[in-house]
Structure 1
Amino acid sequence: MVTDRGLQVLRAIVQDFVDTREPVGSKAIVERHAFGVSAATIRNDMALLEDEELIAAPHTSSGRVPTDKGYRVFVDHLAEVRPLSPAQRTAIAAFLDGPSDLDDVLARTVRALTQLTGQVAIVQYPSFARANVSHVELVQLGGGRMLVIVVTDTGRVSQRLAIVREEFDEDDLARMRADIAALLVGLPVREGVQRVQEHLGSEERTPSAREAATAIIARIVAEELEEFRQDRLVMAGSANLARRESDFRGSIYPLLEAIEEQVTLLKLMGEMVADDQGLASSIGRENDAFGLGEATVLASDYDATGSRARVGLLGPTRMDYPTNFAAVRAVARYLTRMLDDDESAR
């Protein structure tokens, strides 16, 4: 059983180790923190923490470092997540302010978060499987090329180039728009994909040039809608892992592999349970099943017009948890407000 002072000693060890990267001894704790007790008393507290496997000696020195279990107890006993400074909040606003599509907003989100924290930043795309297709636009670019734009009622926008090998007059182009709209507009993404597949499978006669081009466009739209249904991540700051390689006991290769493949991180982030502040964490050995036993993942939910997803950080277990939690929460809240304002303006 850890006493209140024992928790305070653990907090001091975590904070000092994060700040200095050096094992923390009782003398250093007495000098840096106002406990009002002797170094001998602190040593006794540290011995109890070591018995509970919350701290450990990395070598024969008198200093101790937090274990994965120690970091977990530290995180679970955070009294509150301190707010970001005005300068940090201004930096988030500077990165994210301004109208843009969802892809660009999420790309700017991870850049802002990695700059604030020095960790790998992760943003999960919201699932748009339940979104409705609200608009399909076709723009002729010349040379038999056509830009196909698909918009959902949740603000997701995609643009793809179609090679139709023909030029069409305005009447034909208007009919093509109407044919695609009749297939898709107002339908959920999932149903839209099915409608396109059924339509393409029903063609029996030789199509006209306009019908053939419409079929090409319909296939492209179906591919885009399939992507709308898939979970994926946007990430930034992978180079920070290399810069902090000394914080990992083993190779950083499993982390780089997880970043590249995404499936592992998507599954991990999906299984993390949020606390009453809406924050979730998975620390060190808690990630063994995902091959990330030397990493910490922090996350907070954000709301994209009714579809929830997560924004988070990936880094070593030795990290500034209070500051990183604050950054993740602040960015998630800002992102929610921004997407909500964008939807309200439509």
Structure 2
Amino acid sequence: MSDGRRLQVLRAIVQDYVATSEPVGSKALLDRHQLGVSAATVRNDMAALEEEGLICAPHTSAGRIPTDAGYRLFVDQLSEVKPLSAPERAAIAEFLAGSVDLDDIVDRTVRLLASLTHQVAVMQYPSLTRSSVRHIELVPIGGPRLMVVLIVTTGRVEQRVVDVGRDLGDADGERLAFDLRGRLNALAAGRPFTEVARALAGLSEGFAVADREAVEAVTTALAELVVEEREERVVIAGTSNLARRSGDFPTSLRPVLEALEEHVVLLSLIDAMHDDPARPAMDASDLVSVRIGSELSHAGLVSTSVVSTGYGAGPDLVAGLGVLGPTRMDYPTTMAAVRAVAAYVSRSLGG
């Protein structure tokens, strides 16, 4: 049996099983696909694929279904991820274009992914540890109180009210706020969070003695904002889609649902790919990770697959998103949807 024909038969079995959820027999393959060989040849090919562990017979069925290894070979042999249609791309762009802030982008993204793929969508909020400063704003709010607003390249906005120890309502106070805002942005804008605290160290020494207490109060607040540890956040949508595919889970949905309730598990599902130091330098939307069944480390997810990617501006990924569903998944379409949505999210945040 040639490798080319073996892959053709495997591809046909995967496609038919994904479409029908029924084990696939040799007669069905000949009826549905132009294989150009006899029934006996197809049966021999299927026997060889079964011997290699790429397909198996469920129970006493005469048909065959793909194994995790079969799905893996099928995905690895995809020459390219088919692009979404023009109407699909336009719908994604229009839906995400209506977002008003980061929370809205995340909410719209998971709902859109769940709708496009009919799977569970998972999205991680942009990580502050992978973020850079876009702008710092200082807003006097009465008396000695100043609101320090930190705007991040990922769209996140952090703020803190600081008592600077002096009234900022007079001309000197306004001058100080204006001058400090300019110097802060000159030092911090465009820098990753890991460098900001160091860049601001000693800034107060460049101000008049009377102003130094106020400057130190602001720089201390900013340093706390950029180094403060935060729990990573993830959002999911489309869990009900699993119920519609309950027949694809051999025992019950309970282990999958329990795994989805664990915050750490959700993060690990989408973190593995974009945290890989060996990841080649390319746009976030150009690399899609697929982990199938037993490749997932969590025991409750052995009957599922995860398709994920990172998002961000160019090679600077700030977080991940993806979908989880049964291993009987339309991988090419799902990969295309995840890649396209990540690209649009990256553009939204980069704007």
**TM-score interval w.r.t. the shorter chain?**
0.7 to 0.9
Where structure 2 has 5 or more consecutive residues not aligned to the other structure, the ranges are: 204-212
Aligned-partner SS, 2:296: helix
1:1-346 equivalences in 2 (<5 Å): 3-98=3-98, 100-124=100-124, 125=126, 128-129=129-130, 131-132=132-133, 134-138=135-139, 140=141, 148-152=148-152, 154-160=153-159, 162=161, 170-171=169-170, 186-187=187-188, 188=191, 189-193=193-197, 221-222=222-223, 224-226=225-227, 232-250=233-251, 251-258=255-262, 262-269=266-273, 270-271=275-276, 278-288=287-297, 292-304=301-313, 307-309=316-318, 310-340=320-350, 342=351
Residue identity opposite 2:44 in structure 1: N
Distance 1:240 1:181, change over 3 A: farther
Task: Name the stretch that deviates more: 88-97 or 298-307.
Answer: 298-307
Q: Are the counterparts in 1 of residues 260 and 266 from structure 2 also a CA contact under 8 Å?
A: no
Q: Which residue of 1 aligns with 2:208?
A: none
* Count of residues in correspondence between the two structures: 331
Aligned-partner SS, 1:150: strand
Distance 1:242 1:106, change over 3 A: same
CA–CA separation in structure 2 for the residues paired with 1:265 and 1:220: 34
CA–CA separation in structure 2 for the residues paired with 1:110 and 1:139: 37
CA–CA separation in structure 2 for the residues paired with 1:279 and 1:242: 26
Q: Are the counterparts in 1 of residues 110 and 123 from structure 2 also a CA contact under 8 Å?
A: yes
Task: Name the stretch that deviates more: 299-308 or 187-196.
Answer: 187-196
Distance 1:26 1:260, change over 3 A: same
Give me the CA root mean square deviation. Answer: 4.1
Task: Name the stretch that deviates more: 89-98 or 236-245.
Answer: 236-245
Distance 1:222 1:266, change over 3 A: farther
Q: CA deviation at 1:249?
A: 2.6
Q: CA deviation at 1:273?
A: 7.4
Q: CA deviation at 1:170?
A: 3.0
Q: Are the counterparts in 2 of residues 102 and 156 from structure 1 also a CA contact under 8 Å?
A: yes
TM-score, normalised to structure 2, is 0.75
CA–CA separation in structure 1 for the residues paired with 2:288 and 2:59: 34
Q: CA deviation at 1:6?
A: 1.7
Residue identity opposite 1:255 in structure 2: A
Residue identity opposite 2:328 in structure 1: R
TM-score, normalised to structure 1, is 0.76
Residue identity opposite 2:156 in structure 1: V
CA–CA separation in structure 2 for the residues paired with 1:221 and 1:3: 60
CA–CA separation in structure 2 for the residues paired with 1:10 and 1:272: 33
Q: Which residue of 1 aligns with 2:207?
A: none
Distance 1:158 1:75, change over 3 A: same
Aligned-partner SS, 2:79: coil
CA–CA separation in structure 1 for the residues paired with 2:250 and 2:186: 53
Distance 1:95 1:147, change over 3 A: farther
Q: Are the counterparts in 2 of residues 299 and 328 from structure 1 also a CA contact under 8 Å?
A: yes
Residue identity opposite 2:343 in structure 1: R
Aligned-partner SS, 1:322: helix
CA–CA separation in structure 1 for the residues paired with 2:199 and 2:299: 38
